[in-house]
């Protein structure tokens, strides 16, 4: 069966995360989104782990998979997936002597190499891979030129693309041949334009965490879905202060300093992926470029945010009438959507046919889009 999965989220114990993030709120939001699999996030944190263990006593159709993100000694971030929360309790015991904030931070810093962390994860039967692998700050390809440079002899079980990349960015990197790509939201709130803004379609044999891990091990990723890469905050090479964009050649000529304000120019994901490409692009599962429904509603209504009262009211009407958000974005016929709201129907029709204009982001500012 095909289930949509978002395996990378956070908890109230992570920095800059909404206090409203609770298991019940997350499950409710995931159901409205159309997700069948949800990562717990922050499963190394004992209090958050206990919240999910207590919540597991109640049945839910959504498969909750224990996950966490950690930062290693080189400031590279890793996504870890386990079959049960007991595995994370065991992993916490193995990492306790190598971290000062293991029990206080949702995303702890582990003073070990990526290889040492991966070895411990694999010994416990878990899976690990680089989080937002192309992002120019705390990622694999921000600090390393290859998987081996970070993970040594330990294999990676998947690679998370991040919001500024799609499958094409990694398809031409020989180092990644055979490595499944994941798309996840890295959500810090339950807002519908955050949770599930990127997701993967997994072909699972059973609606259980074990079934999810088995699908990941066997590379049964049927599809990826998420932003057009240009919408990401780091897609283009740009100044981190004024966001002026540069070609890679221009940035190199300027010594990676913006002449307008003297601030740092950060290499964009598109340029970094082009540097790493060393083989003809390999075939990958389809990547569906999409936009959160709330942001589409915002564009159609001409408001400044998807969280305005006007946007929320229309969003709720669409879900009450048509079903979950992913179905509205992906499969419900446009005439049925237009019957609820003509403008939204027209916009989703334009989205599905690629008839929109993208305004690329970079330097830490999201890109944007507009419809005809």
Same domain, 160 and 307: no
Same domain, 317 and 204: no
- Please name the residue that has the structure tokens 């304000």: 261
Same domain, 132 and 6: yes
Assess contact for 313 and 294: CB atoms under 8 A.
no
Q: For residue 172, what pLDDT is reported?
A: 97
- pLDDT, tens digit (0-9, with 9 covering 90-100), for 196-211: 999 999 999 999 999 9
Query: What percent of the chain has a predicted confidence (pLDDT) above 70?
Result: 99
Give domain status of residue 100, yes or no: yes
Q: For residue 321, what pLDDT is reported?
A: 98
Looking at residue 77, which CATH number applies to its domain?
Answer: 3.20.20.140
Same domain, 91 and 225: yes
- Please give the model's pTM, rounded to 2 decimal places: 0.97
- pLDDT, tens digit (0-9, with 9 covering 90-100), for 142-171: 999 999 999 999 999 999 999 999 999 999
Give domain status of residue 13, yes or no: yes
What is the count of structural domains for the chain? Answer: 2
Give domain status of residue 307, yes or no: yes
Please name every residue paired with 64 in a beta bridge, in sequence order, or none if there are none. 38
Does position 103 have pLDDT exceeding 70, yes or no?
A: yes
- For residues 224-237, give the mean pLDDT: 98
Q: For residue 60, what pLDDT is reported?
A: 78
- pLDDT, tens digit (0-9, with 9 covering 90-100), for 34-66: 999 999 999 999 999 999 999 876 677 999 999
Assess contact for 284 and 167: CB atoms under 8 A.
yes
Among candidate residues 229, 258, 273, the one where a domain is terminated: 229
Among candidate residues 188, 210, 229, the one where a domain is terminated: 229
Is 5 strand, coil or helix?
strand
Q: For residue 182, what pLDDT is reported?
A: 98
CA-to-CA distance for 317 and 239, rounded, in angstroms? 40
Containing structural domain, residue 306: 293-359
Same domain, 43 and 187: yes
- pLDDT, tens digit (0-9, with 9 covering 90-100), for 319-331: 999 999 999 999 9
Alpha carbon 103 to its chain centroid, in Å, reads 24
Does position 105 have pLDDT exceeding 80, yes or no?
A: yes
Give domain status of residue 277, yes or no: no
Q: What is the mean pLDDT of the chain?
A: 97
Same domain, 82 and 223: yes
How much is the CA Rg of the chain, to the nearest whole Å? 20
Give domain status of residue 253, yes or no: no
Element (H, E) at 215: helix 209-217
Task: List the structure tokens of 17.
Answer: 């995360």
Q: For residue 57, what pLDDT is reported?
A: 65
Query: What percent of the chain has a predicted confidence (pLDDT) above 90?
Result: 98
How would you write 154-195 as a 3-class SS string?
CCCCCEECCCCCCHHHHHCCHHHCCCCEECCCCECCCCCCCC
- pLDDT, tens digit (0-9, with 9 covering 90-100), for 253-292: 999 999 999 999 999 999 999 999 999 999 999 999 999 9
Same domain, 225 and 307: no
Same domain, 168 and 78: yes
Same domain, 170 and 66: yes
Give domain status of residue 369, yes or no: no
Confidence band of 132 (pLDDT split at 50, 70, 90): very high
Length of the chain measured in residues:
372
Give domain status of residue 284, yes or no: no
**How does strand 2-6 pair with strand 221-226?**
unpaired
Confidence band of 236 (pLDDT split at 50, 70, 90): very high
- For residues 229-258, give the mean pLDDT: 98
Q: For residue 372, what pLDDT is reported?
A: 85
Among candidate residues 178, 207, 229, the one where a domain is terminated: 229
Give domain status of residue 104, yes or no: yes
Task: List the structure tokens of 129.
Answer: 């891979």
């Amino acid at each position: 069966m095909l289930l949509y999965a978002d395996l990378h989220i956070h908890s109230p114990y992570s920095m800059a995360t909404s206090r409203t993030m609770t298991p019940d709120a997350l499950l409710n939001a995931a159901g409205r989104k159309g997700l069948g699999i949800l990562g717990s996030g922050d499963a190394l944190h004992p209090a958050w782990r206990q919240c999910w263990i207590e919540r597991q006593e109640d049945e839910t159709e959504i498969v909750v998979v224990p996950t966490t993100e950690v930062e290693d000694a080189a400031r590279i971030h890793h996504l870890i997936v386990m079959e049960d929360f007991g595995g994370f309790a065991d992993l916490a015991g193995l990492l306790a002597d190598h971290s000062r904030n293991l029990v206080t931070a949702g995303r702890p810093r582990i003073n070990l190499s990526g290889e040492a962390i991966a070895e411990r994860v694999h010994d416990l039967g878990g899976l690990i891979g680089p989080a937002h692998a192309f992002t120019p700050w705390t990622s694999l390809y921000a600090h390393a030129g290859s998987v081996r440079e970070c993970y040594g002899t330990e294999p990676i079980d998947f690679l998370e693309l991040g919001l500024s990349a799609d499958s094409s960015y990694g398809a031409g990197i020989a180092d990644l041949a055979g490595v499944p790509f994941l798309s996840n939201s890295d959500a810090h709130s339950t807002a519908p334009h955050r949770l599930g803004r990127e997701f993967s379609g997994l072909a699972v044999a059973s609606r259980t965490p074990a079934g999810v891990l088995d699908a990941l091990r066997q590379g049964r990723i049927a599809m990826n879905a998420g932003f057009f890469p240009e919408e990401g905050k780091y897609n283009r090479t740009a100044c981190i202060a004024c966001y002026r964009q540069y070609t890679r050649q221009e940035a190199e000529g300027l010594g990676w300093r913006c002449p307008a304000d003297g601030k740092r120019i950060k290499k964009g994901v598109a340029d970094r992926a082009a540097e790493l490409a060393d083989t003809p692009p390999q075939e990958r599962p389809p990547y569906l470029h999409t936009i959160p429904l709330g942001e589409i509603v915002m564009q159609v209504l001409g408001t400044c945010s998807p969280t305005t009262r006007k946007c929320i009211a229309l969003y709720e009407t669409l879900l009450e009438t048509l079903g979950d958000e992913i179905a509205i974005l992906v499969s419900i016929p446009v005439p049925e959507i237009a019957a609820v709201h003509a403008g939204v129907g027209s916009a989703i029709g334009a989205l599905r046919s690629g008839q929109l204009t993208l305004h690329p982001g970079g330097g830490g500012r999201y890109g944007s889009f507009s419809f005809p």
